[in-house]
Structure 1
C-alpha cells in the first residue's frame, strides 16, 4: 500500500486533490469484501481501501492548518495513519473503515505537529498535549462570542472553558508564540494561496457534517459494546428507560419484572452506573490504542 502525496510539493496540492477525487467511495459491502481479501494477503485490495479514503485524510488534515505547517506534510502523515488503520481494520466489527481510521489519522498528524514544535518544549504530558491542540480552537470559539460579535478573550476565560489553570494557558501560549505567522504569508512553492484563504467559516460544511456523523457512528459502536456486557435485565432497563422514545414508567418497569416501583428505581440506578463504567473503560482502551500508535 502506498499513497502519492509524497510526490507533490505544496504548489501541486490542487493537482493531488483532483487526483484523489477520481477514486470512487466504497459501499459498506465493497469495503468489507476488500478488507477480507487484504487480510488474506491481497495487497491490491489494501491499496484500494487506502486510495478510496484519501479525501477524508485531507479533510482531517485541514483541521490542523492553523499550526503553520505545510498542508502536504500534514496530509502525508495522515495518509500513514490511514494505512496503519487499514492494516489493523477488522471488517467483522460492524463499523466503517473511516470511522475506525479517523483516530489513527489524527494520532499521526498530532504526533507530527508536536515533533515539529519540539516535543521537549510542548508535549511532555498528556494534559499538555490536550491543551496544545485545544487552545487555538477554544480561543476562536470564545472570540466569536455567542452573538457572532468578535470579543477579546483573556487566558482566564480560556482556562475556565478548558478547566485548567490560567497560568497553564499563558505558559502554553508563550511556548507556541515562536510559531506565529502572517495570515497573508503564502503557503510556499508555486501556489499563491495564503493561510488567510483557509480561515474556518462559521458555517457548518458538508465535510463537517460527515465528520460528525462518523464520530456519532463510533459513539454508537461504543454504546453497543457496553450494552452487550450488561445482563439481560440491565439491558432491558436501559433500553426501556433511557433509549426508548416512549420510556416505561418505573411502575410499568416494576410490573414487568414483578417487583415494586422503588426496587425498579434502584435497579435503574445500578444499571446506569454499570453502563457508565463500561463506557469509560471502552473509551480509555480506545484512547490508549490511539496513543500507542
Structure 2
C-alpha cells in the first residue's frame, strides 16, 4: 500500500472545510488528498476478496469524495468518522451490485481466498462479526450526539417516551401499548409523541 500524506488536524480541517464552502476547489482537493489514508484503512477488511485492490481504492475514493461534498460540520463531529461510513457504504453497494448481477450465486459458493489460501465464501463476508474501527468510532459519536440532542431538543414527555420505547441509556424497551398504560394515555397518543420526537431529531443525523 502506498504512503499517503498525513491527516489534517481538527483546526486544519475546519479551515479547509470553510474555504471549500466558500467555493475554493483547491480546498476540496486538499480535503480529499489528506484523507486518502482512510480509504486504505477501510479496504483492508475487503482485500481477501477477488476484487483488485486498485478497484477497491477507486470505489472507496468515490465514497470519500461524496463524504467531502456532503459533510455538514454543523451536524457532524469530524470529517474522518463521517467519511469512513461513506467509504464503506460505497464498497458495500458495489458488492451488493455484483451479487444482484448473479442471482443464482449461493451464500456458500467460493468467492476467493484469504492471504493464507483458505477458501472464502459469501456467507463469511455477510456474517463477519468484526466491526471496523472507523465504524465503531462513528457509532460512538452518533450515540453521544443522539443523547445530547435528546436532552436539549425534546420535552420531558418526549424524552421519556423515546427512552422507554428504544431502551436508551441501557434501560428496558417497552411497546407503545405498555408505555401508554404506564403513562395513563392512549397508544395513539404515544405514537404521535414518538413520531414528533423523531422528527425533531432527524435534522441532526
TM-score by length of 1: 0.48
Structure 2: where are the runs of 5+ without partners? 121-129, 171-181, 185-189
Distance in 1 (CA, whole Å) between partners of 2:15 and 2:103 is: 43
Corresponding residue for residue 32 of structure 1: 14
Corresponding residue for residue 142 of structure 2: 218
Written as runs of structure 1 = structure 2, the 5 A alignment for 1:1-293 is 14=1, 16=2, 18=3, 20=4, 23-115=5-97, 117-122=98-103, 172-173=106-107, 177=109, 179-183=110-114, 195-196=115-116, 208-209=132-133, 211-232=135-156, 234-235=158-159, 243=169, 266=183, 274=194, 278=198, 282=202
Distance in 2 (CA, whole Å) between partners of 1:238 and 1:274 is: 6
Q: Which has the larger radius of gyration?
A: 1
Is residue 35–residue 90 contact of structure 1 (8 Å, CA) maintained in 2? no
TM-score by length of 2: 0.65
Q: How many residues were matched structurally? A: 180
Corresponding residue for residue 123 of structure 2: none
Equivalent residue of 1:101, what SS? helix
Residue 211 of structure 1 and its aligned partner are, at CA, apart by: 4.2
Residue 182 of structure 1 and its aligned partner are, at CA, apart by: 4.1
Distance in 2 (CA, whole Å) between partners of 1:236 and 1:278 is: 13
Is residue 49–residue 86 contact of structure 1 (8 Å, CA) maintained in 2? yes
Distance in 2 (CA, whole Å) between partners of 1:89 and 1:36 is: 11
CA RMSD, 1 decimal = 4.4
- 1:85/1:94 Cα in 2 relative to 1: closer, same or farther (>3 Å)? closer
Residue 56 of structure 1 and its aligned partner are, at CA, apart by: 1.4
